[in-house]
Structure 1
Amino acid sequence: MDSKKINMKRVRDAIIWLTLIAGIAVVLFFAIHRKANAEIQGMEITIEAINGKEYLISEKEVKQILQLAAGKSITKANIKTLNLRKLEAKLNKDKRIERADLYFDSNDVLRVWVIQKKPVMRVKEISGSEYYIDQSGNQIPVTIGSAVRVPIITGVRDTFYSGIMQSNKPSRLKDVFQVMKYVFGDLFLSALIEQAHIEADDEQDIVLVPKVGREKVIFGDANNIEAKFDNLKIFYRDGMPKLGWSRYKTLNLKYSKQVLGMLANPEMAHRVMPVMKDSLTAEVTDNKQSIHN
Structure 2
Amino acid sequence: MSKYKAFLRITAMALVALGVLAGLGFVERGGANMPVRDIAVQVNGASGVRFLDKDMLLKQVVGGTGPVIGTPVSQLDEAGIEHKLQAIPCIADVEVYHGLDGILHVNATQREPVLRVINADGSGFYIDKNGFTMPLSSEFTARVPVFTGQLKEPYFNSAPINVTYLRDSSGTVSRSKAMYRLSQVLGKDPLWSSLFQQVVVDADGGFELIPSVGMVRVRIGNGELAKERLEKLREFYAQGIPQADWRRYSAIDLRFKDQVVCTKRTQP
What TM-score do the two structures reach when normalised by structure 2?
Answer: 0.85
- Does 1:223 find its partner at 2:224? yes
Could you tell me which residue of structure 2 aligns to residue 288 of structure 1? none
Inter-partner Cα distance in structure 2 for 1:126 and 1:265 = 28
1:40-79 equivalences under 5 Å are 40-50=36-46, 52-68=47-63, 70-72=65-67, 74-79=68-73
Report whether the alignment pairs 1:136 with 2:130.
yes
Tell me, yes or no, if the aligned pair for 1:251 and 1:260 is still in contact at 8 Å. Answer: yes
1:193–1:211 CA contact under 8 A, matched in 2: yes
What RMSD over aligned residues (CA atoms) do the two structures have, in Å? 2.5
Secondary structure, aligned partner of 2:198? strand
Residue 167 (structure 1) shift? 3.2
* Aligned 1:1-293 pairs, distance under 5 A: 6=3, 8-50=4-46, 52-68=47-63, 70-72=65-67, 74-105=68-99, 107-155=101-149, 156-160=151-155, 162=161, 164-168=163-167, 169-170=171-172, 171-200=174-203, 203-241=204-242, 244-266=245-267
- Secondary structure at the counterpart of residue 115 of structure 2: strand
Shift of 1:15: 2.0
SS at match of 1:266: coil
How far apart are residue 133 of structure 1 and its match? Answer: 0.5
- Quote how far apart the aligned CAs of 1:68 are: 5.0
Distance apart, 1:16 and its partner CA: 0.9
Q: Closer, same or farther in 2 for the Cα pair 1:257/1:66, shift >3 Å?
A: farther
Shift in Å, 1:102: 2.8
CA distance in 2: counterparts of 1:197 and 1:150, whole angstroms: 14
User: Residue type of the partner of 1:197?
Assistant: V
Distance 2:152 2:36 in 1: 50
Residue ranges of structure 2 left out of the alignment (5+ in a row):
none
Q: Please state how far the C-alpha of 1:221 moved relative to its aligned partner.
A: 0.6
Q: Is the 8 A contact 2:219 2:254 kept in 1?
A: yes
State the number of aligned residues. 259
Deviations 1:246-290 (A, max 9, x none): 2211111211233221112427xxxxxxxxxxxxxxxxxxxxxxx
Q: CA deviation at 1:179?
A: 0.7
Partner residue, 1:274: none
**Structure 1 contact 70–82 (Cα < 8 Å) conserved:** no
Q: Distance in 1 between matches of 2:79 and 2:153?
A: 37
Name the CA distance, whole Å, in 2 between partners of 1:86 and 1:257.
58
Q: Which runs of 5+ in 1 are unaligned?
A: 268-293
Contact map agreement 1:92 1:100 (CA 8 A) in 2? yes
What is the distance in 2 between the residues matched to 1:49 and 1:209?
28
* Cα pair 1:95 1:139 within 8 Å, conserved: no
Residue pair 2:148, 2:200 contacting (<8 A) in 1 also: yes
The percent identity for this pair of structures is 22
